[in-house]
Chain A
């Protein structure tokens, strides 16, 4: 049958790799904040890459399994337990009917992803199971999970082959200062050289204003040549907007599709996994790379995922 939500946690939503193809109509992409971690969770339980997972934020949910299934939890370590016993992240785990998965407290990072073998029984809306909360589209009734919600499994697996190799070392390591690589543009020419230097040399601090839409940073003011307003254009995942006040905002999954502020740079895809795990108070330093380097890094990550898939399945 399914899982029942005993306690939804702080913010738990159904997400896949996003709603592709509807940005031209004003529909945000949504999807998981850390596509790599979510994909790893799916690989660990033998799902296709784009299968929907539960994205848990800081305080994870309590879920009662009404039916046995195999799961894997990746991303930040939010302290998962099964019937009170701690369980490993980044490992496929068998859960029996009647057991309860609970998250006790965040230890490292901010977001965890739970994949369920065979996927969740969530209807696709516009080609995706992702939840876009602002417009109440997709996921579980267009909203975050609440106590008492029941979500079915599509094709649960009580056993997976190669169980002993369905594990890997957790990836996220807390650091005193995170280096996040960026490609400059699209509006880097709206900033003075001093502004660009400030952006690349100063340390920025993550503020509590950090949700699925964007992450505000505090730090040295980034100087524009002539203000931070532009005629609205498209916004990519990881775009770093700098409004006239000069403080950067990193745009994330639930970002609006277009916007009218200058964007100094864009976080590279290979480093989204760092962004997704940041918490208020964490320190960030931006490092400029070329688009070639950024694309090499992404393709290298994808190759590693492909290799893991081959080994485990």
Chain B
């Protein structure tokens, strides 16, 4: 933890920076520290925001001032390797690939020199780490997509992309949580609502979890969409088997 820096971000928050690169190892430390902080009895913590390489901590200076907070956080960092961290969770996201739902699947296949079936196979073979959420509510910054299916963005972005669309932009992949404009190559769509303001947990994915996509048929898509409309489909999830454990 020698490289950990405390950065000032005004008088009601600070950022604990774990490194200056995008890596799973750094993200694992952030996740561990965030869990340790939630479990700690440090008073005055308002909310935390994990990002690629840091954890932003919002706090109430009426409860704890900057200096005592930093001392407590340093002590917590010192104990980090002794804290038991539960395995990450994998969210299983069903996707109807191609056709109307994924109008760019054929282009991605052509661009990669593969068949559409091979693109689907590659896209569904990886557990993608959710590094952080941002940009819009529920938008996930995922890591780990195979370069084999990396495809440049559309030259002209679409004006409206429906919520649930699954796309590729360069070597990134992700799901549009709400209807929005965008330039990603759309390869499919999930009937699962990543974002629903009326749900008890409005946003489904969390930073530090993984997403695994799996292909479904139109019939399965319609069934899950109907369940979502009726009040909620419970997304399948399982603990991740950590590498090397």
In the complex, what distance in Å separates the CA atom of A234 from the CA atom of B207? 13
Question: Contact: A23 with B49, CB < 8 Å?
Answer: yes
Interface residues on A, range: 35 or more
Q: Which of B10, B20, B65, B206 has the most CB of A within 10 A?
A: B10
Whether, in the assembled complex, B8 has its beta carbon less than 8 Å from a beta carbon of chain A, the answer is: yes
Query: Is the pair A291, B197 in contact by a Cβ cutoff of 8 Å?
Result: no
Indicate if the CB atoms of A24 and B8 lie closer than 8 Å. no
How distant is B139 from chain A, measured CB to nearest CB, in Å?
5
Is chain A's binding surface mostly helix, strand, loop or mixed?
mixed
A238-273, CB < 8 A from B: 238-239, 256-258, 263, 266-269
Smallest CB gap from A135: residue in B: B137
> Are B206 and A24 closer than 8 Å at their CB atoms?
yes
Interface centre among A20, A257, A294, A298 (most CB of B within 10 A): A257
User: Of all chain B residues, which has the CB nearest A240?
Assistant: B10
Q: A291 and B134 in contact (CB under 8 A), knowing A183-B10, A231-B53, A266-B10?
A: no
Q: Which of B54-62, B184-192, B225-233, B237-245 contacts A (4 or more CB under 8 A)?
A: B54-62
Interface pair A186/B197, CB less than 8 Å apart: no
Q: Does B12 contact A (CB under 8 A)?
A: yes
Report B-chain residues with C-beta under 8 Å of the C-beta of A234.
9, 13, 15, 49, 51, 54, 56
| Chain A residues in 8 Å Cβ range of B65 | 292, 295
Interface: A164 (CB within 8 A): no
**Contacts A25-B203, A231-B22, A232-B51: A257 and B134 contacting too (C-beta < 8 A)?**
yes
- Given the contacts A232-B132, A258-B51, A258-B134, A295 and B13 also touching, CB distance less than 8 Å: no
CB distance from B221 to the nearest CB of A (A): 25
| A140 CB, nearest partner CB in chain B, Å | 14
Q: Is B50 an interface residue (CB 8 A)?
A: yes
Which residues does chain B contribute within 8 Å of A183, judged by CB atoms?
A: 8, 10-11
Contact A25-B11, Cβ < 8 Å, known A137-B197, A234-B56: no
Nearest 4 pairs of A and B residues by beta carbon: A234-B56, A266-B10, A185-B8, A186-B7
Can you list 11 A-B contacts with CB-CB less than 8 angstroms, sorted by A residue number? A22-B202, A24-B49, A24-B133, A24-B207, A25-B203, A258-B132, A263-B9, A268-B11, A269-B10, A291-B8, A295-B11
Task: A184-B8, A236-B10 are known; give 15 further A-B pairs, CB within 8 A.
Answer: A20-B58, A23-B58, A24-B47, A27-B202, A27-B203, A135-B136, A231-B21, A231-B22, A233-B56, A239-B9, A266-B10, A269-B11, A292-B66, A295-B66, A298-B62
- On A, residues with C-beta under 8 Å from B are 20-27, 125-126, 134-135, 137, 183-187, 231-234, 236-239, 256-258, 263, 266-269, 291-292, 294-295, 298-299, 302
